[in-house]
Amino acid sequence: MPDTDPITGHRFSDPSLLEQALTHRSAGSQHNERQEFLGDALLNCIAAEALYRRWPRADEGALTRARAALVRESALADVARRLELGPRLTMGPGEMKSGGHRRDSVLADTVEAIIAAVYLDAGFVACRDMVLRWLEPDIAALPVGKVRKDAKTRLQEWLQGCSRPLPEYTLVDTRGAEHAKVFSVRCALADADLVALGEAGSRRRAEQEAAEAMLAQLEKRHE
């Protein structure tokens, strides 16, 4: 009988599910991207349920922001580092040489893939128990009902409060291999000569980085 896996605390009936979850696209055709897709949905469901039960008086906005804080790329990468996941990844030589096993996007994707692997092997309850163990330190650290809004929301609300037009986000560059792309996004204000740039491993995250940079410029102008 297979041993209990130290990362998941789960004894896999089908160890190949975990092997695939730990395999990056650069290593071959049997990689973890499909598991990542499923794991993302499971993670959002489990985090939402946990917050719903933990914060009985929080409104939808606070719950949504808290869930976003728990499942964002950097938070999942921190989970992966606590689990010492990087050294267990299987990836192509080029990706390994470029430090892919330390990259936030790769680590976060692998966490999601492992969630799917446990679900496929043992069902939802086992999957939820594992995810809650992983998320507990982060859930406990959240300020109840007062999770900070993301940068795009804060920028939009700031501009609306000043009766100014909303920002425009434009993808200006995409570089890198298919499995390790870097997106560059420009945030511009139509009524001011202000432009801010953001870069990240996904377009959505790059937009957030650009919004954060724009907020910093606006705050500096109004000091």
CATH (domain of 56): 1.10.1520.10
The verdict on 122 and 216 lying in the same domain is no
Q: Is residue 87 in some structural domain?
A: yes
The verdict on 121 and 178 lying in the same domain is no
Secondary structure letter of residue 148 according to DSSP: P
Q: Is residue 9 in some structural domain?
A: no
Q: Is residue 108 in some structural domain?
A: yes
The residue with tokens 């939808």 is 60
Would the pTM of this model clear 0.85, i.e. be above it? no
Q: What integer pLDDT is reported at residue 33 of this predicted model?
A: 93
The verdict on 84 and 38 lying in the same domain is yes
Q: How confident is the model at residue 46 (pLDDT cuts 50, 70, 90)?
A: very high
The verdict on 124 and 184 lying in the same domain is no
Query: DSSP for 54-98?
Result: H-TT--HHHHHHHHHHHHSHHHHHHHHHHTT-GGG-B--HHHHHT
Q: Is residue 4 in some structural domain?
A: no
Among 64, 183, 43, which Cα is nearest to 108's?
43
Q: Which domain holds residue 64?
A: 15-141
Evaluate whether 57 touches 149 at the Cβ level (below 8 Å): no
Helix (H) / strand (E) element for 174: namely strand 168-175
The verdict on 125 and 175 lying in the same domain is no
Q: Give strand pairing partners of 168.
A: 188
141-198: pLDDT as tens digits:
887 655 667 889 889 988 888 888 889 999 999 988 766 788 999 999 987 778 999 9
The verdict on 34 and 111 lying in the same domain is yes
The verdict on 66 and 167 lying in the same domain is no
Q: Is residue 80 in some structural domain?
A: yes
- Segment 47-52 mean pLDDT: 95
Q: What integer pLDDT is reported at residue 179 of this predicted model?
A: 65
* Residue partners of 170: CB distance under 8 A and separation at least 6: 185, 186, 188
The domain total for the chain is: 2
CA dist 79 and 138 (Å) reads 9
Tokens (6 digits) for 180: 């390790």
Task: Give the end of a domain, one of 82, 111, 141.
Answer: 141
Q: Is residue 1 in some structural domain?
A: no
pLDDT at 215 over 60: yes
Q: Is residue 43 in some structural domain?
A: yes
Instruction: Kindly report the backbone phi and psi dihedral angles of residue 170, in degrees, each rounded to the nearest multiple of 5, phi listed first.
Output: -130, 130
CA dist 205 and 104 (Å) reads 12
Burial class of 100 by CB neighbour count within 10 A (0 to 12, 13 to 18, 19+): buried
The verdict on 19 and 119 lying in the same domain is yes
Q: How confident is the model at residue 2 (pLDDT cuts 50, 70, 90)?
A: low
**What positions carry a catalytic annotation?**
40, 112
Strand, helix or coil for residue 199: strand
7-40: pLDDT as tens digits:
888 889 999 999 999 999 888 888 999 999 999 9
Task: Give the end of a domain, one of 89, 117, 141.
Answer: 141
Among 183, 186, 187, which Cα is nearest to 204's?
183
